[in-house]
């Protein structure tokens, strides 16, 4: 789908007729504060309000979200520009001492609007911003976004903690869901004020944090959207974020801090062992549940590294560290706390190291998790997670869940409001995700299905073997096709029984191959024949 277009021939002709108002000058004048004077909500107090018409605004800074795979069908032009009516609002919720910035983008020329509304999600602690509306407008959509109550340059501790070192609950709620829903309402209000009619269809499209935001809307405000695309969703945030420091904690307890080349050696060995379980040697572990590779099998082997330079003999503690990250965090008494990562997931983010020499490395914790634990759980930005004991880690995990599950966990399986509203949600997750464990999405889907046997009527989950966080990797990546699939489901009733993904062709790195991913719990299965042909795979 390519809905980007210049002024249509009809509009161009009408602009030459006497009495027409379809001119750029008219659109520029309509893009004024007077048009949007009623734009507000009952529960907010505006602090500032600005409306600006931009001609040929560069979109080169779009989607600075900290994630990937969130842009649908960008036109194939080198330096796209857009004519946009850009509205910026700054407001507060009386009594909460917060500051929220919301941005609304509208195609300046009314003939360029495709009668739809689209919001893009954020990444990590970035909720959104003015650049997030540029691509939707470029594609003909009205759009809105929000900073979630804090700017991208603001440190987590600065917005997450009050001056007294306590959790800034209003700011966290803004980031979690409040500011997102308000941006949607304000954006749709502005759309009607500018074009004189409501959007025919409204969509959410996000990955990572954007996927979590999409799930938050599905659980709390499904009436705001007709379709929600949620990729690699960072739901179960209270558990996922605390689980992200498990690697550094275990590395410290085992006194094992291997260079990344050693960590990667374990991943590559696992892929070599389990790649062919599906009958295809393509660098993908398609059946992770059948991969029983033991990290301990590499103990005693040598790994030659170039950065840093030198040879490392794999020790028992190194294998135990890798096994712990694959397995996921466990309490001191052995209880599983959360999911680990599949064997073909790169583990550099979970147990990354910085080395001055082959024998002198320090662990670099996953920044999202380290910031979460330091700012929200321990409430001490200087806290060093590597100094935790196992009992100390257990305490932090419990505190994260107990204090924050209801605020930002985003894991409520009751989607009855979404079902009633008629909203559709299409979720997908790469099975080689190296940041957000894939099984967190599976766990959520199964809990939703336990409440409603007909869940597939309105919510579907697709797993993508070999695909990394929000896209890329050796597997069939659906990030460029998923939004079209959602639109077809919403607007045409085309049920997504398959989801198109693209991968590098086996034996030809300059070509691509197509695969059609399966809705969970069906499994993407090779049936024989040409491994580069889509017809050689089916869903079982």
Which residues lie closer than 8 Å to 165 by C-beta, 6 or more apart?
A: 379, 380
**Which helix (H) or strand (E) element contains residue 240?**
helix 237-243
Query: Which residue in 532, 352, 521, 339 sits closest to 436, CA to CA?
Result: 339
Asked if residue 501 lies in contact with residue 462, where contact means CB atoms within 8 angstroms, the answer is no
Q: State the helix-helix crossing angle for 179-195 and 209-220, rounded to 10 degrees.
A: 80
Asked if residue 2 lies in contact with residue 84, where contact means CB atoms within 8 angstroms, the answer is no
Distance CA 168, CA 514 (A): 47
| Catalytic status, residue 433 | yes
In the chain, the N- to C-terminal Cα span, in Å, equals 29
Whether the upstream peptide bond of residue 22 has omega within 30° of 0, thus cis, is no
Question: Residue 372 carries which DSSP code?
Answer: H
Distance CA 294, CA 271 (A): 12
- Which residue in 208, 233, 346, 479 is the catalytic one? 208
Give the HSE-up count for residue 324: Cα atoms under 13 Å, Cβ half-sphere. Answer: 27
Q: Please tell me the chain's helix, strand, coil percentages from 3-state DSSP, rounded to the nearest 5.
A: 35, 25, 40
Distance CA 255, CA 247 (A): 12
| Catalytic status, residue 58 | no
**333, 335, 336, 337 alpha-carbon torsion, rounded to 10°:** -80
| E-assigned strand segments in 401-475 | 424-430, 459-464
- Which residue in 433, 441, 443, 479 is the catalytic one? 433
- Which residue in 150, 342, 469, 479 is the catalytic one? 469
Asked if residue 271 lies in contact with residue 343, where contact means CB atoms within 8 angstroms, the answer is yes
| Catalytic status, residue 120 | no
Evaluated on CA atoms 222, 223, 224, 228, the torsion sign reads positive
**Which residues are the active-site residues?**
208, 433, 469
């Amino acid at each position: 789908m390519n809905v980007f277009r210049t002024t249509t021939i009809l509009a161009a002709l009408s602009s030459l007729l006497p009495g027409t108002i379809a001119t750029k000058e008219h659109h520029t004048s309509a893009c004024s504060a007077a048009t949007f004077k009623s734009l507000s909500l009952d529960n907010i107090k505006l602090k500032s309000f600005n409306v600006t018409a931009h001609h040929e605004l560069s979109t080169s800074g779009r989607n600075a979200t900290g994630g990937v795979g969130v842009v649908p069908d960008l036109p194939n032009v080198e330096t796209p520009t857009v004519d946009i009516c850009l509205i910026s609002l700054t407001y507060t919720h009386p009594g909460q001492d917060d500051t929220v910035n919301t941005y609304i983008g509208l195609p300046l020329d009314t003939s360029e609007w495709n009668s739809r509304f689209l919001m893009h999600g954020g990444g990590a602690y970035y909720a959104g911003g003015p650049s997030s509306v540029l691509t939707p407008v470029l594609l003909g959509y009205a759009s809105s976004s929000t900073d979630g109550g804090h700017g991208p340059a603001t440190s987590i501790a600065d917005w997450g903690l009050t001056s007294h070192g306590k959790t800034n609950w209003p700011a966290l709620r803004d980031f979690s869901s409040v500011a997102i829903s308000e941006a949607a309402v304000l954006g749709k209000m502005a759309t009607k004020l500018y074009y004189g009619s409501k959007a025919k269809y409204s969509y959410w499209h996000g990955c990572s944090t954007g996927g979590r935001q999409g799930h938050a809307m599905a659980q709390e405000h499904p009436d705001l959207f007709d379709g929600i695309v949620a990729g690699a969703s960072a739901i179960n945030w209270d558990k996922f974020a605390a689980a992200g420091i498990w690697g550094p904690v275990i590395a410290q307890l085992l006194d094992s801090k291997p260079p990344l080349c050693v960590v990667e050696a374990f991943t590559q060995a696992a892929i070599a062992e389990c790649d062919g379980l599906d009958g295809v040697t393509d660098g993908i572990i398609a059946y992770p549940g059948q991969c029983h590779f033991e990290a301990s099998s590499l103990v005693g082997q040598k790994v030659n590294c170039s950065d840093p330079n030198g040879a490392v003999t794999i020790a028992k503690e190194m294998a135990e560290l890798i096994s712990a990250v694959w397995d996921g965090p466990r309490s001191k008494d052995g209880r599983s706390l959360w999911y680990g990562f599949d064997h073909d997931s790169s583990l550099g983010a979970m147990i990354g190291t910085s080395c001055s020499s082959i024998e002198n490395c320090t662990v670099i914790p996953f920044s999202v998790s380290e910031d979460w634990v330091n700012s929200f759980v321990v409430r001490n930005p200087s806290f060093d997670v590597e100094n935790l004991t196992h009992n100390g880690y257990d305490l932090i995990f419990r505190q994260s869940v107990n204090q924050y599950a209801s605020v930002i966990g985003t894991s409520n399986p009751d989607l009855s409001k979404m079902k009633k509203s008629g909203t559709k949600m299409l979720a997908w997750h790469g099975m080689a995700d190296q940041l957000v464990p894939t099984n967190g999405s599976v766990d959520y889907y199964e809990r939703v299905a336990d409440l409603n046997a007909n869940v597939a009527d309105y919510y579907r989950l697709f797993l993508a073997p070999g695909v990394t966080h929000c896209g890329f990797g050796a597997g069939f990546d659906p990030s460029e096709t998923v939004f079209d699939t959602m639109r077809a489901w919403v607007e045409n009733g085309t049920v997504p029984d398959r989801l198109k993904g693209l991968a590098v062709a086996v034996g030809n790195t300059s070509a691509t191959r197509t695969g059609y991913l399966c809705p969970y719990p069906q499994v993407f299965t090779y049936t024989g024949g040409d491994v580069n042909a889509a017809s050689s795979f089916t869903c079982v």
